[in-house]
Structure 1
Amino acid sequence: MNPILNKNLFFVKEHRGIFKASNNYDIFDPNSQEMILLCREQNLGFFSKILRFTDYKRMTPFDIEITTPQGESILRVKRGVSIFVSTVEVFDEREKLIGKFKQKFFSIGGKFDILDLDDRVVCTLKGKWTSWDFKFIQDNTELAHVSKKWAGIGRELFTSADNYMLNINQSVPENDPNRLLILAAVMCIDMVLKERF
């Protein structure tokens, strides 16, 4: 696992653009303001591009790769066509499946179970329908928090409503595979639960 994933704070900034079909993000260290990761959707098919500009946008498949700015692979997040709820697969830098996310049907505010390879629940991602506020919960303990509210050193980076902060709790050990799943799930929050046309 890349040591960059042992950081606890990640600022995620979405690329904006008119007629933008693909989902692209830059991830910064909010303390140094250095770009540390790139999230790119390179392999978007023709029909998926067309559907991204319709009411079917949230049903389209996606394939996001997270790399370092130098191009070193960190992880990949993939989903096929989604009709009612999403099942998303997460792959490590060697393209090995490391876990999945399953969206809960009829959850208020959005909810995912984050599963390991044996379909055991590692933690649950829970959101509030009134705000952009999500928590990763394991046995009533918060592992990480995603929010648009941030009052730290990096607050000047916040320039639009499509930016947010991931704060991984210090209790999550370094090199813990849950760090990969948590970062991958943050991309799913935006593309599955919060994307709007």
Structure 2
Amino acid sequence: MLEKNTFVVKEQVKLLSSKKEYDILDAESGQPLGKAASKVSGLWAVLGLVLGKDKAPMTVEVREKQDDSLVFSVRRRGFLFKKIEALDAHGQVIGSYKAKLFSIKGGFNVSDKDGKPFCEIKGKLFKADYTFWTPDGKAEMGKVSKKWDGLAKALFTSADTYVVQVNPDFAEQPVIKMLVLGAAIAIDTLFVKAGKASGGGGGGDDD
């Protein structure tokens, strides 16, 4: 999966299910690359029904289509003070995501495994229209959009389908691909789509 630079993330619509599942496709060919699915422990699943699904710790696993092997995961942990992290296939933290607390325009910061600034996310986050920038704001690392002119254009049959692109300049850096793709999935599953984020403070759409 990570040898690709452009992905289509397409939500699977399942009635009467709180579980989030996505197909991850090759944006050029439309061929399946893998899937992403949320997991919540039994006790937290029950509490989530009472307190709200954004309150419960959750993990979203991203797996290869070919052999169902784990590629990486994103998780929300904590209750009062939530933290959202990306982990590699071995369970090692490779980065974390945090909504900007005091920003009029909103946005997210991404930190590396040591907590140092890795990139900044700007744009209309909850409308799947945003861009990843290096901390100095000089280089685009990737972007998420609902517009795509490639062969997979016909795949956009619902509002919950979007394309994730990694800048070819970073094609040989799998950690960047995991953090970019992981951010798109985290924003869609682990943060609240109601004008503010649940994982570390408010975050809205850019003007």
TM-score bucket (shorter structure): 0.7 to 0.9
Report 1:157-196 matches (<5 A).
157-193=155-191, 195=193
SS of corresponding position for 2:168: coil
Pair 1:30 & 2:13 matched = no
What is the CA RMSD across the aligned residues, in angstroms? 2.4
Pair 1:10 & 2:7 matched = yes
Partners of 2:40 and 2:57 within 8 A in 1: no
TM-score after normalising by structure 2:
0.81
Partners of 2:74 and 2:85 within 8 A in 1: yes
Q: For 1:42 and 1:88, locate their aligned partners in 2 and report how far apart those are by CA, in whole Å.
A: 14
Question: Aligned pair count?
Answer: 191
- CA displacement at 1:126 relative to structure 2: 1.7
Cα 1:82/1:112, change in 2 over 3 Å: farther
- Matching residue within 152, 155, 163 for 1:154: 152
Q: For 1:132 and 1:47, locate their aligned partners in 2 and report how far apart those are by CA, in whole Å.
A: 28
Gaps of 5+ in 2: 195-207
- CA displacement at 1:73 relative to structure 2: 1.1
1:104 alignment partner in structure 2: 100
Pair 1:76 & 2:70 matched = no
SS of corresponding position for 1:7: coil
Cα 1:89/1:31, change in 2 over 3 Å: same
- CA displacement at 1:125 relative to structure 2: 1.4
SS of corresponding position for 1:190: helix
2:16 alignment partner in structure 1: 19
Q: For 1:151 and 1:86, locate their aligned partners in 2 and report how far apart those are by CA, in whole Å.
A: 37
Gaps of 5+ in 1: none
Which amino acid in 1 is paired with 2:85? E
Q: For 1:95 and 1:149, locate their aligned partners in 2 and report how far apart those are by CA, in whole Å.
A: 33
1:128 alignment partner in structure 2: 124
Cα 1:133/1:193, change in 2 over 3 Å: farther
Aligned residues: percent identity? 31
